[in-house]
Amino acid sequence: MNHRKTSTKRNDDASSDALHQYEDTDGHFSFVRNFRLADLVTIMNGVCGSFSMFSSAKYLLSNDRDYLWSALAFPLAGLLFDFFDGKIARWRKSSSLIGQELDSLADLISFGVAPALLAFTVGLRTYLDTVVLTGFICCGLARLARFNATVALVPKDEAGKAKYFEGLPIPSSLALVAVLSYWTKMGWIEGQEGIPLGTITLWGAAEGTGEIHLVSIIFGCWAAAMVSKTLRVPKI
């Protein structure tokens, strides 16, 4: 118990020190000037997620498949930046509390909102589909918040890295993006051959608010796995 209290106090002290670096400088852009290299790489992750969403919107407006392929590719680029920001932070020994928060927010954009919008773009557009996709985003948000709040309590290896993830890490949603990419290649999207397995109507008339695509269940299960407390994924 005393060890946990000491550890908690140490973490609180470290967080306080990390915040002081942003309090002790003045000027309109002093916050930006304090960004570390790893922080800028993290922001590029968020940039990729943003471009994915804009590309999805352009596809919906123009029906130009090039925009859809761009939207599918940008989250993968975001993953590369997500991978390298941690490497750079450890290399330069310059991790920060702000960097941790930036990482979570960028992950939510690239691996939460962007994949959900991609699913909507390719054809998961019924009312219940959007409910499931909204739940997917919110579960990703909750999962990232839990990680930030509990990361200090997760067992660490000799290098100080967490030994496992509690619940599916949100970048795992790229597996869903890969499936959407395959469907796009095969033409199994809205406006062509349609989403595989089709829809079922839970209530009301066909094409009403009770209609849902069966594959939306996959997104629902993925969301549940992200917020699971008992699912532990080894960290590679």
- pLDDT single digits (tens) 48-74: 999 999 999 999 999 999 999 999 999
DSSP secondary structure code for residue 156 in this structure: B
The encoded tokens of residue 81 equal 């930046």
Q: What is the DSSP string of 163-227?
A: SEEES--GGGGHHHHHHHHHHHHHT-STTTT--TT-EEESSSSTTSTTEEETTHHHHHHHHHHHT
Q: What is the pLDDT of residue 8?
A: 45
Model pLDDT, residue 62: 97
Angle between helix 127-150 and 114-122 (nearest 10) = 160
pLDDT of residue 195: 97
Residue 165 pLDDT class (50, 70, 90 cuts): confident
- Calpha distance 70→204 (Å, rounded): 37
CA distance 32 to 20: 15
| Residue labelled with tokens 């909204």 | 134
| pTM (two decimals) | 0.84
| DSSP H helical ranges for the chain | 2-23, 30-33, 37-62, 65-92, 97-108, 114-122, 127-150, 174-186, 216-226
Regarding predicted confidence, which is higher, 126 or 12?
126
**Residue 118: per-residue pLDDT:** 98
Among the ranges given (84-93, 105-114, 136-145, 152-161), the one the predictor scored with the smallest mean pLDDT:
152-161
Chain-centroid distance, C-alpha 149: 17
- What pLDDT shows up at residue 74? 98
CA 158 to chain centre: 27
The values of phi and psi at residue 232, to 5°, are: -120, 120
Q: Is the pLDDT of residue 11 over 70?
A: no
Q: What CA–CA distance (Å, rounded) separates 166 from 184? A: 32
H or E segment at 233? strand 232-234
Share of the chain above pLDDT 90, in %: 60
153-164 average pLDDT score: 71
Supply the pLDDT for residue 59.
Answer: 98
Counting residues of the chain whose pLDDT is more than 70, the rounded percentage is: 79
pLDDT tens by residue, 80-92: 999 887 777 677 6
pLDDT category of residue 129 using cuts at 50, 70 and 90: very high
Among 41-45, 163-167, 185-189, whose mean pLDDT is lowest? 163-167
Residue 107 pLDDT > 80, yes or no?
yes
Which pLDDT belongs to residue 224? Answer: 97
CA-nearest of 146, 104, 115 to 231 is: 146
Residue of 85 and 231 predicted with greater confidence:
231
